[in-house]
Amino acid sequence: MKKTGRKLTIVTMLLVILLISIVSFGGFYVKKQNRMENILPDYLLGIDLNGGRQIQLKVDDTINEVVYDKDGNVIESPTEEDKTTEGNTVEKVAVNPEDSLTWDNFEKAKRIMEQRLKTAGITDYTVRLAGNGDIFLLLPEYEGTDNVLSAIYTTGKFEILDDETNEVLLDDTSITGASVGYAASSTGATNIVLNINFNKEGKQKLEEISKVYVSSQNEEGETVNKEVRLEIDGETLLTTYFGETITTGQLQLTIGSSSSSSITMEQALLQGSNLSVLLDSGKLPLTYKISEQKYIESDITAENASILLYIVIGIAVLLLVYFVVRFKMRGFYLWLASIGYVALLLLVLRFTNVDITILGILGILLSSVLCIVFCSMLAGEMKKTEKLTQGEFKAMEKNIAISFVMALIPIIILAIVSCFANYLPLISLGMILFWGILILAIYYILIIRNIVINTIE
Amino acid sequence: MEKKKKTKIILWVIIALVILAGIVMRFTMGFAYDFQYQEHTRIDFYLGQQFSLADVRAITNEVFGDRDVVLRKVEMFEDMVAISVPSASEEEITTLMNKINEKYGLDYTYEEINIVQEPRMDNWDMIRPYIFSMGIATVLILVYIAIRYAKLGVLKVLGKTLGCLVLAEVLLLSILCITRLPINRFTIPAVFLVYVVVLLYLVLQYEKTRKQVKLEENKKK
């Protein structure tokens, strides 16, 4: 290639780098309703950088009064008069009995809440347990936070009762798991169903119940429904009878249907998910109530971020000096290309909706280091040969690339494994490293290589 | 050559001493934790107006001196401040309240302030989310290294990799323990940084040695 052509290619590449850098660091502004607006998506930040909903759950210390009549029966919703009526007795019952307030139960409650958070798909949270059993949660703030929270601290006591006698037929001790899913109904509509799986003992009981609690006709030919009532924390979920005997040990409850107008599919899915989270993790040993909840920002402020920015600029300047002193003009180009790489990576992170956490920032730094190390290796090798030909460059490039890729494989393994973790800081690190390595490969082929190859005389 | 060997021995002795000191410190004084990882006090003030953290910082500096204080804005309208301190006496909180009342024209009484004792973060909770993934990643990386650099001696390479990784992490933790640098949100990233850097360095070295071995083999042929 002629010298002018080579220079033109380098200038073009540098302009591309400049453009990427301006857009990535400065933003892309368009006029919207008489004001300029950056149309680039915002970075998604984890709770360590963005803050989150801080919730304090207190062990419920409420003491209820239970009123018995003279025959010893409980009076539902007693009035003040009932309490003072002769023959009636009033008993004070704590929501959480004294003997249940043990460290084991506090820890068990914390473990169950953590399990519920995982089942609900929350990957970024902290749970702290205080000595008095209070639990402090920090959850990400989004439109589903309230919904998730309600599923976390609910006790989750599940019972199947005889609707007439209130006899408990089956309870949560027999549940092995629960899940929400879709099922097609006989009419062709799509149903959202909650599948509750029971253990061996529960399976037998369910089979017996499903044989007894059915719709039948009495001697007079009238339809009689013998029904069960499903309750969660004393609240009726539904009252039903069985159409067929259940022998599989799985109870399938329809939460919503595409043919029904009473509840949308989205609401049904949400309700089903909440129930499955509750049933899947078991019952809390204690009853909790929300003491306070607030959205608290991260303590990493814009001031801290600007300090980090100055440090990064300082390092970039040092690298510029190193590259220019060691590799002259080629070094300057490679330094500029490295800046462009960071800009491109940040731009991609905006569009790919990767959550950025502190560990994720480490991923950005590591990716940048990889780019710098590769550029440095390349320029270092090129410096060794005085009059490098294009053919020699390609052989040398191949050697460096193989060594570099082989050295990168452990990092790639780390990135891929981290991507599949169920903890946001790790996912953030994994995703950023994954994108960082992928972009480095593409960026090298499209930009860096074109610059370097055109610096060869 | 002799000098190089001497330097190497000195370096190993220093590393051993640092680790030993770190172990002693760990079992006598333990790690120093950032106060936010320990039980601490959070005091919330609803200011009812947008405010600057710098102004509140000036007040907390007067009340708590050079003690660690973390300030955070609370709620969407950012009209509330959460002040976290390792501990605060009733007198300090009252002084803080008076100064805040004066600055923002409020009339809080001590009983109206929201004071929360936040519990410590369980050490195990800090590292537990990483163990499974890091364990799997390390095993897979070791398998890769054993296959790729089998010519350098599987056991030798595996031992060196695992040894260096463990040694580097123990060294980092020892330094943290000796220097009393607090364990905070940057500690886990630091552990990862050391892990990746050591791994990258080792693999680049293995790659170099592998090339040399291959070259010698070719020469022999």
Residues of A in contact with B204 (CB under 8 A): 403, 407
CA angle in degrees (0–180, nearest 5) for A78-A79-A82: 80
Could you report the per-residue pLDDT of A272-317, keeping only the tens digit for each?
888 888 888 888 999 999 999 999 998 887 778 888 889 999 999 9
Q: Within this chain, do residues B45 and B20 fall inside the same structural domain, yes or no? A: no
Strands A288-296, A52-59: pairing kind: antiparallel
Kindly state whether residues B160 and B207 are assigned to the same domain: yes
Looking at the fold, whether B17 and B74 belong to one and the same domain comes out as: no
- Distance, in Å, from the CA atom of A446 to the CA atom of A279, rounded to the nearest integer, reads 53
Cα separation values, A430 from A28, A181, A222, A434, Å:
27, 29, 65, 6
**DSSP conformation class of A165:** T
Distance CA B6, CA B14 (A): 12
Question: What DSSP state is assigned to residue A26?
Answer: I
* Dihedral sign of CA atoms A151, B79, B184, B182 in order: negative
Task: Determine the residue of chain A that is closest to B128 in CA distance.
Answer: A423
Q: How confident is the model at residue B101 (pLDDT cuts 50, 70, 90)?
A: very high
Q: Please compute the mean of the pLDDT values over residues A50-77 and round it to a whole number.
A: 88
Nearest to A275 by CA among A256, A297, A260: A256
B113 and B139 in a common domain: no
Q: Which domain holds residue B205?
A: 2-33+122-216
DSSP category for residue A242: B
Give the DSSP letter of residue B111.
G
B7/B56 same-domain check: no
Closest of B99, B88, B94 to residue B59, by C-alpha? B99
CATH of domain A3-47+298-453: 1.20.1640.10
Q: B20 CA to chain A: closest CA distance, Å?
A: 29
- Whether B43 and B151 share a structural domain: no
Could you tell me if B23 and B128 lie in one domain? yes
Tokens of A404: 């570099």
Q: CA A410, CA A403: separation in Å to the nearest integer?
A: 13
Could you tell me if B92 and B155 lie in one domain?
A: no
Give yes or no for a contact between A409 and B144, defined as CB atoms under 8 angstroms apart. Answer: yes
Q: Please list every residue in chain B whose beta carbon sits closer than 8 Å to the beta carbon of residue A130.
A: 117-119
**CATH code linked to domain A52-61+96-296:** 3.30.1360.200
Residue found by looking up tokens 């089998």 in the block: B150
pLDDT band at B1 (very low <50, low <70, confident <90, very high): low
Tokens of B144: 């890769």
- Residues of chain A found within 8 Å of residue B186, distances taken between Cβ atoms: 358
Give pLDDT, residue A303: 78
- pTM equals 0.87
Distance from C-alpha of A354 to C-alpha of A348, rounded to nearest angstrom:
9
pLDDT digits (tens, 9 = 90+) for A171-184: 888 889 888 888 88
The verdict on residue B221 lying in a domain is no
B133 contacts A423? CB cut-off 8 A: yes
Residue A429, classified by CB atoms within 10 Å of its CB into exposed (0-12), middle (13-18) or buried (19+), is buried
Distance CA A456, CA A390 (A): 7
Total number of domains constituting chain B: 2
- β strands within B32-165, DSSP E: 40-46, 70-74, 80-85, 114-118
List, in sequence order, every residue forming a beta bridge with A74; answer none if it has no partner: A68
Q: In terms of C-beta density within 10 A (0-12 exposed, 13-18 middle, 19 or more buried), how is residue B37 classed?
A: buried
Query: Which alpha helices (DSSP H) does B119-186 contain, by range?
Result: 123-148, 154-179
- Domain end residue (candidates: B101, B118, B135): B118
| Chain A positions in Cβ-Cβ contact with residue B146 (cut-off 8 Å) | none
Query: Would you say the C-alpha torsion A388, A391, A392, A394 has a positive or negative sign?
Result: positive
Residue A387: both structure tokens together: 């009059």
pLDDT for residue A398 is more than 70: yes
**Distance of alpha carbon A179 from alpha carbon A197, whole angstroms:** 9
In angstroms, the CA A267 to CA A248 distance is 28
Q: Report chain A residues whose CB lies below 8 A from the CB of B132.
A: 421
In angstroms, what separates the C-alpha of A216 from chain B's closest C-alpha? Answer: 54
Do residues A447 and A15 lie in contact, with contact meaning Cβ atoms separated by under 8 Å? Answer: no
Q: Which two structure tokens, joined as six digits, stand for A172?
A: 């949560």
What pLDDT is stored for residue A127 in this prediction?
Answer: 94
- A260 pLDDT tier (thresholds 50, 70, 90): low
The answer to whether residue B14 sits within a structural domain is: yes
Read off the tokens for B106. Answer: 């409020």
Chain A residues whose beta carbon lies within 8 Å of the beta carbon of residue B44: 294
Among B118, B147, B172, the domain boundary falls at B118
Query: Residue B74 is part of a domain; what is its CATH number?
Result: 3.30.460.30
Domain ranges across chain A = 3-47+298-453, 52-61+96-296
Asked whether residue B26 falls in the same domain as residue B45, the answer is no
CB contact under 8 A, A423 and B130: yes
Q: Among A340, A339, A321, which residue's Cα sits nearest to residue A331?
A: A321
pLDDT of residue A22 exceeding 70: yes
B residues 116-145 lying closer than 8 A (beta carbon) to A? 116-122, 125, 129-130, 132-133, 136-137, 140-141, 144-145
- Percent of chain B surpassing pLDDT 90: 71
Residue ending a domain, among B118, B151, B183, is B118
From the CA of B204, how many Å to the nearest CA of chain A? 6
The tens digit of pLDDT for each residue in A101-122 reads: 999 999 999 999 999 998 888 9
Residues B86 and B148 in one domain: no
Query: Which chain A residues are closer than 8 Å to B125 by Cβ?
Result: 126-128
CB-CB under 8 Å, A407 with B203: yes
- B183 and B195 co-located in one domain: yes
A56 touches chain B (CB under 8 A): yes
B79 contact A CB<8A: no
Say if residue B8 is in the same domain as residue B84. no
**Contact partners, residue B204, CB within 8 Å, separation at least 6:** A403, A407
Could you tell me how many CB contacts below 8 A there are between chain A and chain B?
Answer: 110
The count of residues in chain A is 457
Is B53 at the interface with chain A, CB within 8 A? yes
